[in-house]
């Protein structure tokens, strides 16, 4: 039997999961696997970068799940410092640049996995490339940011109040750096509803971050090094700037090769992670997925999704059969002690879909009210009008709050109505929750509302 050659572009979560799963099912006599990664590392946790920058994780090596040497033992040739410059679908080869040697050459493939991830948005703001302005996207960014914080900056500005911006702000304030955060929208965490987002904005202020919302950065100022960030309303001095302006799917390479993109702007794949092009697969932040509630094509950038998609892709490449059913966009984050979580659809997304819904919001405590450490938790649930089908949930609260979102995620995934959830046999002991967990109080309240509305309509 002729040996098949699998080429993987991008050596992180999705690409290396695909490579490992394919290897598990087919040995090196049957399948040669080569992964090209332009960065200096493969298979690392980007999610851990803010915690390395903030000195919670002491050694960046701990963020690496597997090195090229460990992959070599598995029979996977993972080449760092190698950038894929072009894909030729007709000739079935990629053009690869060895960045250290400064040479490019062609590498043939029988099967190809595109796992190029997402890239940070870097709008053409004057001064954005000045020394002292940091992104936080790849491992090297985390290493550079940590070094910059170690050097003891006088003042930092974080641009962008998404979760990466907030996690960077947490790292800075925990290391004693006076920090301002500038956000163009009305609240931080723009993907959650305004009433919940306001709590997160307040939590950001409470930890000492100077927060400026509805202000756009117009320029980064400095001469040879960053000195300040100028918004429409003020100039904020800073000798360290961190950008968290959002990300987009890294599809330039795929698009140039003629690989089909979907309406979300990411690579279109079927449930087995195959593109419409023979032998070409894709997974991770660069691909489009189906939203389980809306049925719409979406493109989220989450490690949870990338790992699962890579696994599905690799199982199929190894001759097995697996499908990826879709996503809910379940995500958790925190700003210091305040945790934030969401799953399913927000009210803004529901409005766009033309659905009608009811919401219930409850304030409760993370532990039994009398138990030391009991702290506030606000839980918001959204259900379809009349049917009561759970459509989304959001949580903001202190320790132990965020992971409660997983109960809602499991319920939405299984198409449960709030009424079905009222008697869920969830756990309880005073250190963990009140006897009526906030999840249950919220669904009970919403289920009563849905029922009242239904009666009123009859
Ligand atoms: C700071 C930060 C915090 C995060 N926190 C969380 C979190 O808490 N929870 C969560 O679920 N997700 C989190 N994420 C998102 C998560 O890290 C990503 O969703 C995940 O890494 C995506 O995996 P991927 O393999 O699709 O893409 P990536 O991890 O981006 O990997 C793609 C790789 O492809 C390489 N590449 C791109 N183009 C080429 C080319 N032409 N040639 C060779 N190599 C190429 C890139 O260098 C990169 O290493 C975080 C991300 C960041 C940046």
Complete DSSP assignment for 375-397: -EEEEEEEEETTT-BEEEEEEEE
- 1, pLDDT greater than 80: no
Nearest residue by C-alpha to atom 18 in ligand 1: 303
Pocket mutation for ligand 1, best pick of 19, 47, 257 (most atoms within 8 Å of C-beta):
47
Q: What does the block give as tokens for 251?
A: 């599809």
Mean pLDDT of 425-430: 97
End-to-end CA distance of the chain: 68
Q: What pLDDT is attached to residue 457?
A: 83
Q: What is the pLDDT of residue 112?
A: 98
Distance from residue 117's CA to the centre of ligand 1 (Å): 5
pLDDT tens per residue across span 141-188? 999 999 999 999 999 999 999 999 999 999 999 999 999 999 999 999
Across the chain, what does the average pLDDT equal? 97
Q: Is the CB of 136 under 6 A from ligand 1?
A: yes
Which residue has a Cα nearest atom 24 of ligand 1? 117
Provide the pLDDT for residue 197.
97
- Show the tokens assigned to 181: 């955060």
Structure tokens at 97: 């640049």
Which residue CA neighbors atom 33 of ligand 1 most closely? 10
Instruction: Say if CB 356 and CB 384 are below 8 A apart.
Output: yes
Between 163-174 and 194-206, two packed helices, what is the crossing angle to 10 degrees?
A: 20
Residue 238 has pLDDT above 80, yes or no: yes
249 contact partners, CB below 8 Å, separation of at least 6 = 118, 119, 264, 265, 266, 267, 285, 286, 287, 299, 301
Asked about 336 being catalytic, the answer comes back as no
- Kindly give the distance from the C-alpha atom of residue 353 to the centroid of ligand 1, in angstroms, as a whole number: 29
74: tokens are: 């598995």
| Spatial CA neighbour of 142 closest among 220, 218, 51, 219 | 51
The CA distance from 396 to 187, in Å, is: 14
Distances (CA, A) of 397 to 206, 336, 339: 14, 11, 5
Alpha helices per DSSP H over 207-343 = 252-256, 303-317
Pocket probe mutation, ligand 1, options 7, 9, 10, max atoms within 8 Å of Cβ:
10
Q: Which residue has the CA at smallest separation from atom 23 of ligand 1?
A: 13
- Whether residue 42 is predicted with pLDDT greater than 70 in this model: the reply is yes
Catalytic option among 47, 286, 336, 457: 47
Average pLDDT over residues 9-17: 98
φ and ψ at 247, to 5 degrees? -135, 160
CA distance 427 to 189: 30
**Ligand 1 pocket residue status of 50, Cβ below 6 Å:** yes
Residue 458 pLDDT class (50, 70, 90 cuts): confident
Strand partners, 395: 341, 379
Phi, psi of 222 (to 5 degrees): 165, 165
Q: What is the mean pLDDT of residues 403-417?
A: 98
- Quote the tokens at residue 446: 């919403």
> Atom 7 (ligand 1): residue with closest C-alpha?
47
Q: Please report the atom of ligand 1 found closest to the CA of residue 10.
A: 34
């Amino acid at each position: 039997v002729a040996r098949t050659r699998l080429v993987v572009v991008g050596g992180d979560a999705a690409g290396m999961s695909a490579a490992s799963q394919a290897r598990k099912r087919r040995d090196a006599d049957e399948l040669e696997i080569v992964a090209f990664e332009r960065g200096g590392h493969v298979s690392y946790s980007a999610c851990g970068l803010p915690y390395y920058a903030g000195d919670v994780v002491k050694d960046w090596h701990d963020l690496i799940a597997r090195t090229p040497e460990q992959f070599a033992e598995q029979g996977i040739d993972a080449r760092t410092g190698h950038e894929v410059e072009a894909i030729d679908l007709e000739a079935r080869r990629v053009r690869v640049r060895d960045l250290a040697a400064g040479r490019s050459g062609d590498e043939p493939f029988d099967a190809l996995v595109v796992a190029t991830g997402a890239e940070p948005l870097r709008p053409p703001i004057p001064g954005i490339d000045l020394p002292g302005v940091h992104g936080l996207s790849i491992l090297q960014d985390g290493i550079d940011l940590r070094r910059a914080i170690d050097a003891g900056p006088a003042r930092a500005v974080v641009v962008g109040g998404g979760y990466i911006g907030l996690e960077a702000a947490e790292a800075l304030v925990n290391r004693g750096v006076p920090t301002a955060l500038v956000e163009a929208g009305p609240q931080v965490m723009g993907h959650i509803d305004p009433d919940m987002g306001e709590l997160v904005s307040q939590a950001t202020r409470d930890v000492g971050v100077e927060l400026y919302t509805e202000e756009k950065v117009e320029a980064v100022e400095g001469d040879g090094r960053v000195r300040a960030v100028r918004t429409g309303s003020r100039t904020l001095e800073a000798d360290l700037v961190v950008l968290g302006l959002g990300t987009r799917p890294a599809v330039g390479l795929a698009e140039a090769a003629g690989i089909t993109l979907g309406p979300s702007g990411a690579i279109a794949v079927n449930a087995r992670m195959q593109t419409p092009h023979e032998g070409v697969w894709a997974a991770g932040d660069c691909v489009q997925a189906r939203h389980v509630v809306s049925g719409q094509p979406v493109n989220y950038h989450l490690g949870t999704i990338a790992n699962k998609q890579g696994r599905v892709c690799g199982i199929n490449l190894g001759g097995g059969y697996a499908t990826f059913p879709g996503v809910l966009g379940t995500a958790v984050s925190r700003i210091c002690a305040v945790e934030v979580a969401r799953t399913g659809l927000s009210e803004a997304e529901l409005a766009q879909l033309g659905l009608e819904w009811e919401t219930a919001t409850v304030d409760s405590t993370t532990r039994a009210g009398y138990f030391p450490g009991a702290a506030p938790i606000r839980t918001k649930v959204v259900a379809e009008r009349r049917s009561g089908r759970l459509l989304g949930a959001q949580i903001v609260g202190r320790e132990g709050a965020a992971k409660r979102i997983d109960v809602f995620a499991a319920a939405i995934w299984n198409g449960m109505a709030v009424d079905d959830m009222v008697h869920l046999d969830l756990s309880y002991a005073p250190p963990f929750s009140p006897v009526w967990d906030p999840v249950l109080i919220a669904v009970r309240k919403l289920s009563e509302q849905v029922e009242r509305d239904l009666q009123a309509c009859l």
